[in-house]
Amino acid sequence: MSNKYDIIIEIGIIGLLVYMTLAFGGVLDGSIALMEIVTALLLLVWLTKLVSQRHSASHAFTVQHGKCQVRIATSPLLLILVVFTGLILFQLLPLPAFFVRIVSPETYHVYAEAATNTALPLPAFLPISVCSYATAMELRKLLAYLMIFVLTVNTIRSPRQITRLIYVIIALGLFESLYGILEYFSGHQHIFFHKKTSSLAVSGTFVNKNHFAGYLEMVIPLAFSLLFTRLTEHSQTSSKKLVRFLDEKYMKILLTCFLLAIMIAALILSSSRGGMLSFASGMGCLMGLAYNRRLLRKGVIVVLILVVFAGGLSVFMGYDLIMTRLHTLVQLDTELSFQLRWNIWHDTLSIVRDFPIFGTGLGAFSHIFPRYQTFPSHLAVLYAESDYLQTLAETGAVGMILILCGGIVFFSRTLKAWKQRYSRWSIVIAASGMSAVFAILIHACIDFNLHIPANALLFSVIAAVTSTAAHSQRRSPR
């Protein structure tokens, strides 16, 4: 039974998910500040709960007397995230200039050059980050995502709570899809009262169609959890009740398929090539997981048929748009957006070579990139068009190793626990969640989806509920 503290935290997390999604993906400074403030308040509520109940929380899930106890301190994943946060704090720490010159010679050179240009003396203490302000801003966001993850695994634990949260996420994805499709075919091309100035493809309330696609590629696998749940439902009632149950069951299946088709069609109509490829990867992951569990195996064909049907529907609705975008995949050597990405990646690698160990400082990419830019562009390059490459440039080999270790720990521990589960609810939710996480991590190779607050927030929540479901042995709510 949820207490008043858990209810407040759950409402706060849901409120953040709704607001950040609808507020242009949360990219405005005001939205980011609001997320950080609300997260801090929710953390305060949770700490108050811990003090009042006099117990500690954790991230390892065990079943004791029918209840799920969480142990944060014993979680390897959380430990890695804490160490990564410590790395960012280290980047901000004023260190002796001679020490900075040893561990990050190029950082020392940047500060020395700035001192020469401004005719000011070089400070005796310097941070590793070449832009401490930007690093501090990114650290605040990182802490907000980390706290949302911790709060979710500690307060949203029961099947009823997680199911409720998933319904909210699916509702948001459905709204984004319907709104984007209506705007696209109406020719209105607005995000609420603001006229779109970039791509005119389907993008919902997101400024960038690629980030809209990234959002949906996380939502759709969760929506498939509803379909798998419907397909695996069974009843042991009388024949008359059985007929009624089957009627209701297949109506629910048809409705779920219809809603899924809308979201898949919207993703494809976004014309995001990275989104489509990442979505296909996520679906491949989901079908692979489903095929390895007898309970879900019969749903693999249904998933495949539905994806093909929705794809065909999308082509019918926006044939010219989709075919034009897909045709560029065979002309990458002349395609402008790919050439721009390639140039950015090439110059970002130059940053990596100069800041190999600790990086330039989290969030400092846009400030250091002009020093390395070798191609003409009328646009300011704010992101590396690859979350991994930007992480490598900003946090160096140390940060990248920590991130990769975190991913390995998450998938290995979650998959191991998932294989030991026999609860239909645990199996379905964990498989869908792992597929959602896998899809966005694939997309992160060629885009900066995880630098968009709404997507990063959703990623944190999905990772948390996936871990909870995989480690829980509770049955689904009736």
pLDDT greater than 50 at residue 367: yes
Tell me, yes or no, whether 361 lies in a domain: yes
Give mean pLDDT, residues 247-261: 85
Length of the chain in terms of residues written: 478
pLDDT greater than 90 at residue 82: yes
Tell me, yes or no, whether 106 lies in a domain: no
Tell me, yes or no, whether 329 lies in a domain: yes
- This model's pTM is above 0.85: yes
Tell me, yes or no, whether 211 lies in a domain: yes
Pairwise pLDDT comparison (67 vs 88), residue with the higher score: 88
- Of 9-23, 57-71, 217-231, 309-323, which range is least confident? 57-71
pLDDT greater than 50 at residue 478: no
pLDDT greater than 70 at residue 70: no
> What is the C-alpha separation between 345 and 347, in angstroms, rounded?
6
Band of the pLDDT at 299, cuts 50, 70, 90?
confident
CB 362, CB 142: distance < 8 Å: yes
pLDDT greater than 70 at residue 73: no
pLDDT greater than 90 at residue 157: no
What's the confidence (pLDDT) of residue 178?
A: 96
Give mean pLDDT, residues 227-252: 67
Tell me, yes or no, whether 286 lies in a domain: yes
Helix H, strand E, coil C: the string for the chain is CCCHHHHHHHHHHHHHHHHHHHCHHHCCHHHHHHHHHHHHHHHHHHHHHHHHHCCCCEEEEEEECCEEEEEECCCHHHHHHHHHHHHHHHHHCCEEHHHHHHHCHHHHHHHHHHHHHHCCCCCCEECCCCCHHHHHHHHHHHHHHHHHHHHHHHHCCCHHHHHHHHHHHHHHHHHHHHHHHHHHHHCCCEECCEECCCCCCCCCCCCCHHHHHHHHHHHHHHHHHHHHHHHCCCCCCCHHHHHHHHHHHHHHHHHHHHHHHHHHHHHHHCCCHHHHHHHHHHHHHHHHHHHCCHHHHCHHHHHHHHHHHHHHHHHHHCHHHHHHHHHHHHCCCCCHHHHHHHHHHHHHHHHHHHCCCCCCCCCCHHHHHHHCCCCCCCCCCCCCCCHHHHHHHHHHHHHHHHHHHHHHHHHHHHHHHHHCCCCHHHHHHHHHHHHHHHHHHHHCCCCCHHHCHHHHHHHHHHHHHHHHHHHCCCCCCC
Band of the pLDDT at 385, cuts 50, 70, 90?
very high
Band of the pLDDT at 252, cuts 50, 70, 90?
confident
What's the confidence (pLDDT) of residue 58?
A: 45
> What is the C-alpha separation between 392 and 256, in angstroms, rounded?
40
Tell me, yes or no, whether 287 lies in a domain: yes
pLDDT greater than 70 at residue 69: no
- The rounded percent of the chain whose pLDDT value lies above 90 is 67
Give the domain range for residue 333: 166-234+244-471
Tell me, yes or no, whether 411 lies in a domain: yes
Band of the pLDDT at 41, cuts 50, 70, 90?
very high
What's the confidence (pLDDT) of residue 90?
A: 98
Q: Considering its fold, how many domains does the chain have in total?
A: 1
Tell me, yes or no, whether 45 lies in a domain: no
Q: pLDDT (tens digit, 9 = 90+) per residue, 331-341?
A: 666 677 888 99
Q: pLDDT (tens digit, 9 = 90+) per residue, 121-132?
A: 999 999 999 999
Band of the pLDDT at 422, cuts 50, 70, 90?
confident
What's the confidence (pLDDT) of residue 242?
A: 53
